[in-house]
Structure formats: C-alpha cells, structure tokens
Chain A
C-alpha cells in the first residue's frame, strides 16, 4: 500500500515539475502584459488589418535578429507577416532594459504554441549595438 502511495507521490511530483517547466518565462509575461498586450492582445492575435499577430507569426523567425531593436525603437513602414501586409507604425519601448527585452522575446517565442528557440542576453546586447 505504501508503495502505491509513494508511486503516486512521485508521479504527482513529476507532473508538477513538468508543469512548472512549461512556463519559465514568467517575467517576460509580466513585461508583455505591461507593454505589449494592448496592441498584440493576450492571445497574441493582434488586430486584423492593423496590428500583426505574434502567435504563429513567421516574422519572429525571419527577423529574429531584429526583434530587440523593434521592441526598443519601434517600427515604421510596411511589413509582411504570414503573407499579410501591415503598415501602422509600432511605438518602441525605450525604457526597457536589455534583460527585460530578452525576457519578452523569450516569452513571445514560447507562448501560444510558438517554439522559436531561446535568445540569450548576449545576442540581445549585440543586436542592440547595431541599431542605436
């Protein structure tokens, strides 16, 4: 009987840990909710015809080396996301630190089914050097 209890306990711990590991970008989520969510929405869907989605967006991988600059300095001009064109300007968020930007990028790249790999703080710093 004790063995059964122990197995259940281990199994429970395993799933608890697994669950824990699925949401490692808690700080990025908070930053996203503070600075990005008004336009890109909780579900990363954007606004049809005006604000591009982040969920399932090809832009994130095609322009992976520019995301930090976009977040800090904003974006002007037409862009194409998943075959659709968007031209409304995006405002930058200049007050975010390099670490905060890295956390937002990692949150976006792992939320809503996105699985675009991990961005390091060094990569973010290097990107930002090129877009000052």
Chain B
C-alpha cells in the first residue's frame, strides 16, 4: 500500500514537472507566406504617430523592445475604461522591465487632442518613458488596427460613435505578434502577463 502511495506521489510530481516545462517560447501569430523557400511572418508595418508629449512615435521608438498595443478613445462609454485598467495593471507589473513599452492608439482623432492625451496619461499617473498615447491620421490608425488583429471604425450606431474591439496585443522586438488577449477580462489579462514574462525571458536569453 505504502509503495502505491509513493509511486503515486512520484507520478504526480513528474506530471507537474512536465506541465511546468511546457512551452518555453510563444508562437508567432498571423498569416505566413513562403518567399524563396523562406517563411515570412506577419509583421507590423511602418507607422508614424505623435504622442502625448508631441514627440514622434515610430517603429524606431520600439527598436529592440517588445510592446503592448491597444486601440481606445478617452470618452468611450463602453469597454475603454476596462482596457485602460488592464493596460495600467500591465504597466505597474512591468514598470521596471525596460524591454517592455505600452502603446495606446486613440481612434477618436478629432476629440482626443495631444493636450487631452497628456491629461489622460497624467490622470493615470504614467509617462511617455513607458506608455505612449498616440494620435495621428485617422485612416492610418484604423488601418493599423487590422495589423494588430483589432477592429476600429466609425459607427454612428455604436455608443460614442466608434466600433472597436478590445484586444491587447503583444509585439516582439521583430515587429511580430506573439500573444493577445481580451483586455476587458481580468483573468485573460492574468494569463497574458504570463505570456509577456515568457517573451521577456526569450529576449534575455542569448541567441545562439
């Protein structure tokens, strides 16, 4: 009898260990293409926006860094406060990890002016060292939403006048999407933060 218990304990331990050694690297998400025998992954295209401090924000801003992207607007009466809250949780947990930045695109380019974005960032207690709130050409912001697997469009029937989805997207240092989650679901955000940890670990591992 005692033997069975011992074996049982060992088996449980092994199963747990196997579970923990699970995936060490996140997948690369999005459509893949084969070009000249090489796999080409989905990448975030070139962009140029302007942040709450009137500074240009481009792909170069995120060179060598991973970042979280979302689409929101300040006066949004539906999902945005939850998105901002989730982004703020991520901001606080990874505040000291310099390899991770945050990028929130306002889809209300008419109303969310730079001073309003600045005020919003200040109210959350965050700065552009870590978290960029950007505005720019409306169509460019709508278009790039699709590259981030998000939806953003004018919709007079939607509360606040815009229809948009609430995904948070994790982009790696090579412009590739590695994970995403529903930013309105705190439990999904918990899991997403584990994914961020995995990516940071991968980035810190010396490449062979």
Q: Which residues of A contact B (CB under 8 A)?
A: 38-39, 41-42, 45, 47-51, 91
12 cross-chain CB contacts under 8 A: A38-B77, A38-B78, A39-B77, A41-B81, A47-B84, A47-B88, A48-B124, A49-B125, A50-B81, A50-B84, A50-B120, A50-B123
Tell whether, in the assembled complex, residue A41 and residue B85 are in contact, meaning their CB atoms are under 8 Å apart: yes
Binary flags per residue of B70-110, CB closer than 8 Å to A gives 1, else 0: 00000001110110110010000000000000000000000
Binary flags per residue of B124-161, CB closer than 8 Å to A gives 1, else 0: 11000000000000000000000000000000000000
**A91 vs B76: C-alpha distance when bound (angstroms):** 11
CB of A68 to closest CB in B, whole Å: 20
In the complex, number of A-B residue pairs with CB atoms less than 8 Å apart: 33
**A32 vs B120: C-alpha distance when bound (angstroms):** 25
CB within 8 A of B123: which of A41, A48, A91? A48
CB of A76 to closest CB in B, whole Å: 13
Tell whether, in the assembled complex, residue B81 and residue A48 are in contact, meaning their CB atoms are under 8 Å apart: no
**A58 vs B68: C-alpha distance when bound (angstroms):** 35
Q: Which residues of B contact A (CB under 8 A)?
A: 77-79, 81-82, 84-85, 88, 120, 122-125, 184, 186
Interface of A, helix, strand, loop or mixed by DSSP: loop
Interface centre among B77, B79, B82, B85 (most CB of A within 10 A): B85
**A51 vs B81: C-alpha distance when bound (angstroms):** 8
Tell whether, in the assembled complex, residue B85 and residue A47 are in contact, meaning their CB atoms are under 8 Å apart: yes
**A131 vs B122: C-alpha distance when bound (angstroms):** 34
CB of B77 to closest CB in A, whole Å: 5
Chain B residues near A49 (CB, 8 Å)? 122-125
Chain B residues near A41 (CB, 8 Å)? 81-82, 85
